[in-house]
Structure 1
Amino acid sequence: MKIKSILCVSVLALGAGFMAPMTQAQAQAYANVRIGQPPPPRHEVMPAPRRGYVWAPGYWQWNGRRHEWVGGSWLRARPGYRYVPPSWVRGPRGDWQMRPYRWAR
């Protein structure tokens, strides 16, 4: 019985080690991924207006290895707000950062 208890405690301790938060060096290595400038937007034909919806044009998204195109789609309108599409901006260190879409008053 005592051996089972020791084994159980060992397994739990080992599992806790795997779930420990990343060290600062590990987090920094992940944050330093450099993303190149996205390609120019693709031309999309804007469909006819739909009552109660806003057309969200397509955009380039980073999938972890490369940019991939996400086609435009309809979003349900939010009264009192305007849709602001996602955009890519150049950061202070020359890296590219995506600002996701949002709803502005």
Structure 2
Amino acid sequence: MYIVLIGWIYVALMMSVAEATNTTGTVLGAVFTFLLYGVAPVSLVLYLMGTPARKRAIKAREAAELAAYRQTQAQAVDASGEPDGAGETAADAVAPVREKP
């Protein structure tokens, strides 16, 4: 697939050279021709082609983070025997206030 993109850039470059060397053409027109006919479409195609690889990388990173989190949780449980690792029971910081009926 990359050979097609290289060919596309080559054709756009030749179009730009033809415009720049033409008697009625300008260098500014050649630059815009190369940018709009060459660089913009190729960058869009490369971005779209890279989408599956980016998704795989994100999933792999998330899986690694989840594995690291689970490992730290397992180490905390193993170290203290308690799920939170603090050795104290879970309770509210402030005792609830009971209203008189």
Richer in strand (by share): 1
Larger RCO of the pair (alpha carbons < 8 Å, separation 6+): 1
* TM-score, structure 1 as length reference: 0.28
* TM-score, structure 2 as length reference: 0.29
Richer in helix (by share): 2
